[in-house]
Amino acid sequence: MSAVRDLPPITVSNRDFDQLVAFGLAAGSHDDPEIGFLLSELQRATLCAAPELPGRVVSLNRLVRYRLDEEPVSREDFLVHPRDLVDPDKELSAASSLGVALLGLGIGDSMPFHDPSIGIERLVHVDGVGPRHCQGLTEIILGP
């Protein structure tokens, strides 16, 4: 197995792209590794119109079910624009390393990212995606 991992393709709506690029550029400090990661991921993204974004793709204001590394239990958060973050217990900023890693992934995809809070490389795996108005786990689109 190669030490260099191929990154999965990501798809981002034009609306999310525009909002997050504007945020990243306004943040000013390209020395910030999380902002650098955000801008580099947006640069490699395939763009589409918001109404055409597949429902199985992680985007802003969608509920995402994911696992970190080899965790047996999934976590759930709404992925939100950084300025819209209100409840860190239920929401995840799209400018955080984990949020950037999730953005644009499809169900079943995995993405490596550096976790600055503990200083190590981690792997996130997408188990399901649901719309913002989703009230329960049964409404989340799950992978095979």
> What domains are there in the chain, each with its CATH number?
11-142 (3.10.50.30)
pLDDT tens string 44-97: 999 999 999 999 999 999 999 999 999 999 999 999 999 999 999 999 999 999
pTM: 0.88
The mean of the pLDDT values for the chain is 88
Q: For residue 2, what pLDDT is reported?
A: 42
Beta-strand runs (E) in 1-144: 11-13, 46-48, 62-68, 75-80, 91-93, 110-115, 120-130, 141-142
